[in-house]
Homo-oligomer: A and B are copies of this chain.
Amino acid sequence: MHQSPDPELLSLNTATVREKWSLRQMIEGCARHGIRGISPWRDKLAELGAKEAAKMMRSHGLTVTGLCRGGMFPATDRRGRQAAIEDNLRAIEDAAILEARCLVLVVGGIPPGSKDIAGAREQVRDGIGAVLDHARACGVPLAIEALHPMYAADRACVNTLAQANDLCNELGEGLGLAVDVYHVWWDPRLKAEIERAGDKRLLAFHICDWLVPTGDLLLDRGMMGDGVIDIPLIRSWVEAAGYRGFHEVEIFSANNWWRRDPDEVLAICRERHQSCC
């Protein structure tokens, strides 16, 4: 029997309605629909600035379940890597202002012209290492998001929770995981690595669905219930590991959800969160 999740745990990742709404509209929309969490992307955050956004979110009773995103560490040369580190330091400060539960790290892929994925992974480790102290000092946990292997080349060369857990082992306190069902649902080691992560490392839980067929590698994610991911099963695993945080809806969907009225999208998110998660 499916037991519906607590509706208070629904959170809106701003990517889901990014095409039609400003951050202000998103904050007001969440309040209107009884959605208690929000996770802004930095492009949207820039509209208001972190301080103004933080104030507005708090006044609407919203918890900031994450800031998207830091990361993108690998680069062709030292200057590029340094620029990435500085950008991550700024993101950490914004996350602190927002009192975000975590800064989500999309770690970056292989630098242009390179075929060295192992080297890119080392650059990711070193990049996280270079900003982790500042994150600790700011009280901002860093959440490594393992991205689907189809993004290994150009977005993130951390592609399994096993890799992310290994990085946490290596780099220590202040580092954890963002588990997005879209990226990890296929992984035969998923349950084991969620257990291994445990409560302390599980910083975010992102939901959407994998459509069959999937028409685009990036912009064809499905609404919960429309695809093949057994979201209640994966939720049961993160809860068994002790996770009590939000369930953040993040849907990139150029031809469907991004075209709809965001009020309709938010209403359907609420309904599907109850019926399909």
Query: Hey, which bits of chain A sit against chain B, CB under 8 A?
Result: 110, 114-117, 121, 148-150, 152-154, 157, 159-160, 162-163, 185-188, 210, 212-214, 217, 227-230
A110 touches B163 (CB 8 A): no
Q: Could you tell me the distance in whole angstroms from the C-beta of A229 to the nearest C-beta in chain B?
A: 7
Q: How many copies does the complex hold?
A: 2
A228-B186 in contact (CB<8A): no
Whole-angstrom CA separation of A268 from B125 in the bound complex: 38
A160-B188, A186-B159, A188-B163 are known contacts. Are A150 and B150 too (CB-CB below 8 A)?
yes
Contacts of A163 in B (CB 8 A): 188
Q: 17 A-B pairs, CB-CB below 8 angstroms? A: A110-B228, A115-B228, A116-B230, A117-B186, A121-B188, A149-B150, A152-B185, A152-B186, A153-B186, A154-B212, A157-B186, A159-B186, A162-B188, A163-B188, A213-B217, A214-B217, A217-B217
Given contacts A115-B228, A116-B230, contact A150 B110 (CB under 8 A): no
20 additional contacts, CB 8 Å, given A110-B228, A115-B230, A153-B212? A115-B229, A116-B230, A117-B185, A117-B186, A117-B228, A117-B230, A148-B149, A148-B150, A149-B150, A149-B186, A150-B214, A153-B186, A153-B210, A153-B227, A153-B228, A154-B212, A157-B186, A160-B188, A163-B188, A217-B217
| Whole-angstrom CA separation of A148 from B214 in the bound complex | 14
SS class, residues of chain A in contact with chain B: loop
The distance from the CB of A271 to the nearest CB of chain B, in whole angstroms, is 19
- In the assembled complex, the CB of A107 is this many whole angstroms from the nearest CB of chain B, namely 13
Q: How far is the CA of A229 from the CA of B148 in the complex (A)?
A: 17
Closest Cβ of chain B to A213, distance in Å, is: 7
In angstroms, how far is the closest chain B Cβ from the Cβ of A53?
32
Collect the chain B residues with CB atoms within 8 Å of residue A210's CB. 153
Nearest 4 Cβ contacts at the A-B interface: A152-B186, A115-B230, A149-B186, A150-B150
A185: which B residues are within 8 A, CB to CB?
117, 152
